[in-house]
Homo-oligomer: A and B are copies of this chain.
Amino acid sequence: MQASLGIGMLGLGTVGSAVAARLIGEWEMLGARAGVTPVLRRVAVRDLTRTRDVDLRNVELTSDAQALVDDPAVDIVVEVMGGVEPARSLISRALQRGKTVVTANKAVIAESGPALAGLAASHGAGLWFEAAVGGGLPIVALLRASLGADVVRGVDSIVNATTNIMLTRMREEGVRFETAVAEAQRRGFAEADPSSDVDGWDAAYKLVIMSWLAFGVHVEPEAVDRRGIRDVRLHDLAYTGQLGYSVKLVAHAERAVRSGAVHLRVRPTAVPADHPLYAVDDSDNAVIISSDLADTVILSGLGGGGASTASAVVSDVVQAARTRGCPPAAPLTAEPVLLSDEDVEVAGYLRLIVDPSGEAQAAAVQMLEDRGVPVTAAFDKPPLDGPFPQLLLLTGAAPRAVHDRALETLDTLPVVREIACAMDRIESAA
């Protein structure tokens, strides 16, 4: 009979239930692949009395998470409870006891990944977190192992299903923000409090993890240039749509070749039709990695939900079991130097409310170009709500700081009554 390996799991929500179902239902297949049979021995839950969808007759439920971590019968700790504490302390405790940890916790890895990976290395334990980014899409493995020969230049991605579902519905059906949030909640993607998703924190955590693995530097989540989608107006989804763009919450990271300085941002971004992110709709995720040898690698598909996330968790368990003697190395971690706004190039989409004099377009374009912001297209549009006409402008690549200063000046132009929207834009390759 093949040897077995004890699994203890923290949490039994949507992901935990799917993990338990796979470990219990496919133990033979998983054992053949791992060379040792992973056996789910204990699960720590908050409420021992709740009924569960999964048959746990040979699994001990406990409310004592610390005792589970300490249990000598538990070789691998699977953390799928979510939230920062007590998850982080329990992960630390397990690693300090030399136990391998598999976690789906993006907040903990984004904030404390390097410290935990160091702890794992010093105790000969493994720290696995494929499920923290992109559900079943192997983005962590791609960056941590498969691009091990490459110098990564940049990451462009859609990694938050809630906002992508919302933006898709808002664009395609014209539903309001509140209705779109409710749909994402009903489908199990958004939390009761959706702010981590709609304010861009969830995407920022995932971007921090990707950048850590891609560039070997650890950027604090607070240092990400982050804007959520609360201010995205239906009008701008429609206008950018007419111009051939789709608005996405794009998580972008880049590294300057010479200085090694990095820039991370999460912002609503107008994506052109010829870009691989354009057609990534609804709950799909996609990550585009640019690097010097592989050139372009794109991973896309279902990026979340219980089953997809369980795919990543359980494949980590299988790999951890198979390579117990060789835990994965801690990713390189240096202090980041952040690119200045003077060095980060962006293009933009602007919607202005202007005076009906007919002179606004010429004045605005002149002013922007005088201040170093190229204007690649300008469109006069009729008034929306009030009496004043509108002006849409597409600006070309210029440093963020140049853009920002020009916008401040634009706001003081007599013909400009209001800057109704200023959004990042990816330029079409055509």
Contact = CB atoms under 8 A, between A and B. Distances in A.
Given A130-B146, A148-B315, A315-B150, A294 B136 contact: yes
B142 A317 contact: no
A300 interface: yes
Residue among A34, A146, A317 with most chain B CB within 10 A: A146
Q: Is the interface of A mostly helix, strand, loop or mixed?
A: mixed
A298 interface: yes
Contact of A326 (B302, B317, B325): B325
Interface residues of A, number: 54
Contact of A310 (B30, B142, B149, B324): B149
A241 to B, nearest CB: 19
A245 to B, nearest CB: 18
A293 B18 contact: yes
B33 A148 contact: yes
Contacts of A151: 26, 29
Interface in A304-363: 307-308, 310-315, 317-319, 322-326, 329, 332
A112 to B, nearest CB: 22
A291 B148 CA distance: 26
Interface string A160-200: 00000000000000000000000000000000000000000
B142 A138 contact: yes
Contacts of A323: 323, 326
A222 to B, nearest CB: 28
A297 interface: yes
Given A298-B298, A299-B299, 14 more contacts: A18-B293, A30-B148, A146-B315, A147-B311, A149-B312, A149-B313, A149-B317, A150-B315, A294-B301, A294-B302, A297-B300, A297-B301, A322-B329, A326-B326
11 contacts: A22-B149, A32-B332, A137-B294, A138-B142, A138-B297, A141-B141, A141-B145, A150-B315, A294-B308, A294-B311, A294-B312
Interface of A: 18, 22, 26, 29-30, 32-35, 130, 135-138, 141-142, 145-151, 276, 291-302, 307-308, 310-315, 317-319, 322-326, 329, 332
